[in-house]
Amino acid sequence: MSMSINPYLIFDGNTREAVHFYEKALSGKVMGIMTFGDMPADPNHPLQDDMKDRVMHAHLKVGEADLMFSDTFAGMPYQPGNSIQIALHPKEEARAREIFAALEDGGQVVMPLQKTDWSPLYGSVIDKFGVTFQVNVPGEQQQ
């Protein structure tokens, strides 16, 4: 079984600034920045104009390490400094389901495991210790 793990930093509308700050400070390379507005429109969940420029996902390569970033949805609770999540990337969907089930035991599901535009299986859970994990089976375009 193969799986990669990386920190996922969450900001409140200033992710783009943070990515470029860490790019310079850590001599990293921005691999990509995607906004919520870049995603296909969903008529069942229309995106407010103030959300379109917020960063949905950014990837910064620092040496061999990957740092990933996102903005919160406008108005969501945000506590600076307590906004680091752990992203898990198991290659097999069965393993993703096992990990998710173990983490949700005594915890709270934020987003159930489901197919998304970027992953065949993605979900988010806060474990019983208050640590947020994103479980993401890499899609074909990801490494």
Do 74 and 114 lie in one domain? The reply is no
Q: What percent of the chain has pLDDT over 90?
A: 60
Do 88 and 47 lie in one domain? The reply is no
Q: Which residue do the tokens 């987003």 mark?
A: 111
Do 92 and 76 lie in one domain? The reply is no
Give 113's pLDDT tier (boundaries 50, 70, 90): very high
Do 94 and 133 lie in one domain? The reply is yes
**pTM of the predicted structure, to 2 decimals:** 0.73
Model confidence over 35-94: pLDDT tens digits?
999 988 888 888 888 899 999 999 999 988 999 999 998 778 887 766 888 999 999 999
Domain of 67?
Answer: 1-80
Residue 129 is predicted with a pLDDT of: 73
- Of the residues 60, 80, 100, the one at which a domain ends: 80
Q: How many domains does the chain have?
A: 2
- Of the residues 80, 99, 122, the one at which a domain ends: 80
Query: Residue 9: beta bridge partners?
Result: 69, 84
> Distance between CA 84 and CA 143 in Å, rounded?
22
